[in-house]
Structure 1
Amino acid sequence: MFDKTMTFSIGGDHEDEMKRILTMVYDALREKGYNPINQIVGYILSEDPTYITTHNNARSLIRKIDRDELLQALVKSYLGE
């Protein structure tokens, strides 16, 4: 059953929505004086929503993004694909 590589794909519109949400969360964290990169990484690694401020509804927004899909989009962006 686990002898084949599974493929995973998300659409471009979904990636645009993730980027929009992530940008809003980043801005809210920065406005509150946090280091947005550290806070977002903490959230991604732990899935603990307390890493994200409630300012501008950022905590609710970040929870709309599937972490696996976000990681895939980030790796894809980093590698320039």
Structure 2
Amino acid sequence: MPNISEDTMMFRVDNEENNAAMVINAVYQSLITKGYNPINQLVGYLLSGDPTYITSYNNARGLIRKLERDELLEELVRAYLKDK
């Protein structure tokens, strides 16, 4: 039987200046401008890692690829829980 710990693992992200919010906003605006549903496209990218979900307009695809998906998810969760 595998040794399964009952302890909760800690996930820590460096407290360096995070530009994930800026990237998400820029990508969001580019997707809107090109007529895409930004929620669907961002979710598709986050789940699959396939950058073709993101338009290349205004270098949005290049911007989003500069960050790891976990950094983007962290920013999204932070923003969602901010007012909770």
Q: More helix by proportion, 1 or 2? A: 1
The corresponding residue for 1:64 is 66
User: How far is the alpha carbon of 1:57 from its aligned partner?
Assistant: 0.6
User: How far is the alpha carbon of 1:62 from its aligned partner?
Assistant: 0.6
The superposition leaves residues 38-79 of structure 1 with CA deviations (integer Å, 9 ceiling, x where unpaired) of: 101110000000100110111100101111121122122212
The corresponding residue for 1:48 is 50
State the distance in 2 between where 1:11 and 1:47 align. Answer: 24
Rg comparison, structure with higher value = 2
Identity %: 51
The superposition leaves residues 10-44 of structure 1 with CA deviations (integer Å, 9 ceiling, x where unpaired) of: 32621xx1111111111111110001111011100
In the alignment of these two chains, the number of paired residues is 79
State the distance in 1 between where 2:63 and 2:30 align. Answer: 11
- 5+ residue gaps, structure 1, are none
TM-score by length of 2: 0.80
TM-score by length of 1: 0.82
1:10–1:69 contact (8 Å) kept in structure 2? no
State the distance in 2 between where 1:20 and 1:40 align. Answer: 14
Q: 1:67 to 1:77 in 2, by over 3 A?
A: same
Runs of 4+ in structure 1 over 3 Å off: none
State the distance in 1 between where 2:48 and 2:14 align. Answer: 23
